[in-house]
Amino acid sequence: MSVATRQPKRVSGIGVLDKASALLDVVEKGPVSLAELVSGSGFARPTVHRIALGLESLGLLARDFRGRFVLGPRLGNMVVEVQRDRLVKAATPVLSELRELTGLDARLFRRSGAMQVCVGARTEADGDAEELPVGTARSLRAGPVAQVLLAWEEPGELYEGLRSARFTAAQLSLVRRRGWVHGPDATMPGAVSIAVPVRAMGKRVVAALALTGAHPRMPAIPSRLLLGAVIDAAGELGDVLVDTRPVRSRAAVSQRG
């Protein structure tokens, strides 16, 4: 097929957007040189070069160590945001079951800059249940949730986060080795929390799942059963990010089995 007659796979009717989409289709299959991008898209070299450089300046394309074009970081961030939205929508049954199983308040947190934001909660209907409602934003300076949300960040983000934190780099190193944190909850005086990471695609930490309670409801040392329950729930939430099927409770799964 000639360059003049080849058409992009997705047609919006806006020429430059259709061409950019065609280039992204080619790069999506793997790293490519400019010559391979020209060959794969069927467009003239000057056109490919101009659009590819524009996409690179917008963060939609990037270069690998060999100078080949690869998908840019902005696309990865977009994917993570979509996953986070799915995560929040799917959290309700998981948080409800965790609350019922442990008797402790279950909450889901996401990081937003230097803040931790509560995006899901299942708590007692009275008492201190409204101390940290959904939508509340608190700083990342202290507490188990803050440590989980920062522990797996890139070195630059870690440095910035630790500048005003009440925990140290050594403590975050311990969090990474253990995979969980247990301690006083800085956002709720008198309460103790266990926090674990929720991972996208089994890798990037996109949220923190926390169980919170006051003494004596929350033990001074978390039991294996309690840790197992919150880690399993975090794993179930992570599975939502790679599985398009509706989330089913563990109780429903066991009854079915």
Identify the three-state secondary structure at position 206: strand
Helical pair 45-57 and 15-28, crossing angle rounded to 10 deg: 80
Residues of each domain in the chain carrying CATH 3.30.450.40: 76-256
pLDDT at position 126 is 41
Classify each residue of 134-152 as buried b or exposed e, where b means 16 or more C-beta atoms within 10 Å of its C-beta: eebebebbbbbbbbbbbbb
pLDDT at position 247 is 47
| Tokens found for residue 89 | 């929508």
**CA nearest 23: which of 5, 6, 48, 44?**
48
76-256 under CATH 3.30.450.40, yes or no: yes
* Class of the CATH-defined domain 15-71: mainly alpha
Q: How does pLDDT run across 167-194, given as a tens digit for each residue? A: 999 999 999 999 999 999 877 778 899 9
Q: How does pLDDT run across 121-160, given as a tens digit for each residue? A: 998 754 444 566 788 888 899 999 999 999 999 888 899 8
Supply the pTM of this predicted model.
0.63
- Given a contact cutoff of 8 angstroms between Cβ atoms, the answer to whether 172 and 158 are in contact is yes
How far, CA to CA in Å, does 86 sit from each of 79, 80, 181, 239, 246? 11, 10, 25, 11, 10
Lookup result for tokens 């696309």: 75
CB within 8 A of 169, min separation 6: which ones? Answer: 158, 162
Residues of each domain in the chain carrying CATH 1.10.10.10: 15-71
